[in-house]
Amino acid sequence: MRVLVVGGGGREHALCWALAASPLLTKLWCAPGNPGIAELAECVPIGATEIAKLVGFAKVEKVDLVVAGPEAPLTLGLADACAAAGIKCFGPTAAAARLEGSKAFTKEVADAAGVPTAAWARFEDPAAARAYILQRGAPIVVKADGLAAGKGVVVASTVEEAEAAIADIMESRVHGTAGASVVIEECLPGEEVSFFALCDGTTALPMAAAQDHKRVGEGDTGPNTGGMGAYSPPPAFTDALRDEAMDRIIRPTLAEMAKRGAPFQGVLFAGLMLTGDGPKLIEFNVRFGDPECQALMLRLRSDLLPALLAACDGELSRFDLRWEAHPSLVVVMAAEGYPGTPRKGTEIRGLERAAQVPGVQLFHAGTARREDGALVADGGRVLTVAATGQTLRAARDAAYAAVDVVDWPGGFCRRDIGWRAL
């Protein structure tokens, strides 16, 4: 099969890594890709949101399957454009991708489907939002309604923090048009997990769960990021909780989306809070998480390619997935300045030695090649150092052993990934 992966981050590197191992694969492209992906696939200089160019390339090259990595091309209609061209695409239509494109839409779907979630309200007026915050008190959660690259959520411990979030999101527009409206939610107590299910429009197949570390600082301090690390499986997410999440959250959502004429096909990423009343939905994403995808791909023992095809073809009811029992852990190495303005152009050395640490797999995210061939930072989250081990502690030790070999003075990472479980 001829496959095109769309995107150029650590998630897409992990997807390419898994797909490259499939005996069904005959040709692999990635648009735009990165230097790490270039070792597995032919990189194509087309941006992830250049829908017409992506579909045009897929037609010319007779691509059998397009695999969408990030959310932006999906909300812009990549799957719709592929379908119009007669090309299979793993990922939801633009109508179904609203589950990530609008947090208010997700809440409306959850309420209609009877999915347990936090109490919420949507606001377009900053004054009304502030009044609601004063009425509800803190802690409270403020979210930009639109896409904000994983950074549009503020968990405010005080009313003042929540009011500052309204100022940043709605008035200063730090997340652009994503902040034209906000969703304000009650702050749910409990432990947060990322749970993934493959969906074909009618059937949902549970994948695995992970726990990520959103805040930039150790001990979960500082501003939210796209993710500073993850591990899988989270011990708190038992098989019983997985089954409950499928029955009360995933399947009812799938049924409600089909009822609305927007059946969901792709991977449904449920951000869950494990509360005393069971799992509750925080939000949906319509693609694999980053860095959770890296943690999952290291544990996946089934061939990824036929699983994605089964989702496209409505055949998941006849499919199953096998997972490695041993855990995986992922450490994100980011450029100085992240999650603000990252410092680009700093040289990275030592990756060959880091990759030789037993159990370690390196995934590139924000990297580039300089004219002289040197590898340099070209983004915020730059590298993902992933590892497996007999135990979570062993996986963590291997990952940090590889991190310590990387020679990159311009980068940093959290040193406490996995602390909740350990």
Domain that holds residue 245: 190-318
Residue 294, CA distances (Å) to 220, 291, 360 in order = 21, 5, 12
Choose one of 318, 345, 365: the last residue of a domain: 318
Residue 110 lies in a domain: no
For 246-285, the pLDDT digits (tens) are 999 999 999 999 999 999 999 999 999 999 999 999 999 9
Q: Is residue 76 scored above 90 in pLDDT?
A: yes
Q: Is residue 150 scored above 70 in pLDDT?
A: no
Residue 105 lies in a domain: no
Residue 206 lies in a domain: yes
What is the pLDDT, as a whole number, of residue 223? 85
Q: Please measure the distance between the N-terminal and C-terminal CA atoms of the chain and give it in whole angstroms.
A: 42
Residue 50 lies in a domain: yes
Q: Is residue 205 scored above 70 in pLDDT?
A: yes
Choose one of 180, 207, 226: the last residue of a domain: 180
- Looking at the fold, whether 228 and 304 belong to one and the same domain comes out as yes
- Looking at the fold, whether 363 and 310 belong to one and the same domain comes out as no
The rounded radius of gyration (Å) of the Cα atoms in the chain is 20
C-alpha to C-alpha distance for 51 and 309, rounded to whole angstroms: 21
Q: What is the CATH number of the domain that holds 357?
A: 3.90.600.10
152: confidence class by pLDDT, cuts 50, 70, 90: confident
Residue 358 lies in a domain: yes
- Sign of the CA dihedral with 164 first, then 166, 172, and 177 last: positive
Residue with tokens 């004219």: 371
C-alpha to C-alpha distance for 182 and 241, rounded to whole angstroms: 30
Choose one of 295, 318, 341: the last residue of a domain: 318
Residue 114 lies in a domain: no
Residue 113 lies in a domain: no
Q: What is the CATH number of the domain that holds 153?
A: 3.30.1490.20
For 24-66, the pLDDT digits (tens) are 999 999 999 999 999 999 999 999 999 999 999 999 999 999 9
- Looking at the fold, whether 336 and 312 belong to one and the same domain comes out as no
Q: What is the CATH number of the domain that holds 48?
A: 3.40.50.20
- Looking at the fold, whether 290 and 350 belong to one and the same domain comes out as no
Residue 106 lies in a domain: no
For 219-238, the pLDDT digits (tens) are 999 988 889 999 999 999 99
**How many domains are there within the chain?**
4
- Looking at the fold, whether 218 and 166 belong to one and the same domain comes out as no
The whole-model pTM stands at 0.94
- Looking at the fold, whether 81 and 154 belong to one and the same domain comes out as no
User: Cβ(169)–Cβ(161) under 8 Å?
Assistant: no
Q: What is the CATH number of the domain that holds 221?
A: 3.30.470.20
C-alpha to C-alpha distance for 10 and 87, rounded to whole angstroms: 25
What is the pLDDT, as a whole number, of residue 147? 84
